Amino acid sequence: MKRVLVLSSAHPWDDERVFGKITKSLSKKYETALCAVADKQFFEVDRVKIFGLPKLPRLKRYKNYLRIIRIINEFKPDIIHFHDPDLLVLSLYFKFFLKKKVIYDVHEDYPLAFKDRRYFPEPFSTMFSIFFNLVEKTISRLLDGVVTVTEDIYSKFKCKNKEVIKNYPVAETFFKEKDSDIYGTLNLIYIGSVSQSRGITNLILAVRSLHELDIRLDIVGPAENQKYFEEIKKYEDEKIKIWGRVPKIDIPGILKSAHVGFVTLLPLLRYKTSLPLKLFEYMAAKVAVVASDFELWRKIIEESDCGILVDPTDIQSICQAILFFYNNRDQVIKKGLNGHKAFMEKYNWAKEEKKLFQFYERIVEY
């Protein structure tokens, strides 16, 4: 049986894509281990060996390289499936010195992300974005395969073996039944990374402006930085709760009582072509959706009839969506059920898992 090491120097070991999908699916066909950020150096979950790495800031992750190489020498994988751009240069060592087959799993359009996040002042952000794009695309052509999460990212890689494996949820992790009370408090929810660019400030301000309504907003997920987390914590009251990071296993239970889910990310380039996991988690949990009116998302929302599109930069537009569902509770149920139907038919992990297996068959034979 072929051995596969799934590798991430940045993601926690229980990351939904890295462990919950890629690693667990591959373990059905191959002897699979995971090397990712964890508090322990070694443990096992669901018969998968997990090698822990210390959590380090981006510029210090090179300090994990020697441990990663030792883990590879210990586990002796045939294939290394890595998830982080900071491992691109090291992947050449895996490929040409250790003679491993290497797959690069691209979670987002990193050149656009680096430009949007402005790690450096202009014009250096643009220059770094161009430089990284050249490095990423050059190295990827030397590897055995590339996996991307969207068609848009897929189109930017010019390599022989590539596949789109979308980050859809696993259907079995969500409850089949929802809490039945739809006519009391309207429960609003946001799940995912928390930052101003993801529309959190505007969402909070919209809810605060509707203080006379019987509504509650739960914001669940880790903040991108502590300063922003402390800033939005000041808005907590009886209608708004800021959870912070919660265990992945708790998400389906939290969604079970939610009525309307928000994915109102601001119109940055990297978001407009993304497929956010939270959108499909809402659909899986029969939660009606309020989403940014981006072309790619519009197609999904309108075809599924599972929610409302808004201008995420306009607080009044968000307020109107909340008021629509508050005054039309039957639409909460209808759009939640419509979203779940579309999820079961098109947007679940089972279909992506089949593509992953077919991709690996090509890699093994390549």
Provide the percentage of residues in the chain whose pLDDT is more than 70: 98
Which pLDDT score is estimated for 1? 87
Mean pLDDT of 285-292: 97
Mean pLDDT of 285-300: 97
Mean pLDDT of 253-280: 94
Nearest to 78 by CA among 140, 42, 15, 26: 26
Q: From CA 20, how far away is CA 173, in angstroms rounded?
A: 10
Backbone angles phi, psi at 72, to 5 degrees: -65, -45
Residue 118 has pLDDT above 70, yes or no: no
Mean pLDDT of 11-29: 95
Q: Which carries the bigger pLDDT value, residue 351 or residue 121?
A: 351
Burial class (CB in 10 A: 0-12, 13-18, 19+), 211: exposed
Q: Which carries the bigger pLDDT value, residue 118 or residue 305?
A: 305
Tokens of 165: 């494996």
**Predicted confidence (pLDDT) per residue in 24-36, tens digit:** 999 999 999 999 9
Which pLDDT score is estimated for 179? 66
124 — pLDDT class (breaks 50, 70, 90): confident
Average pLDDT, the chain: 94
**Predicted confidence (pLDDT) per residue in 181-231, tens digit:** 788 999 999 999 999 999 999 999 999 999 899 999 999 999 988 999 999
Q: From CA 108, how far away is CA 121, in angstroms rounded?
A: 22
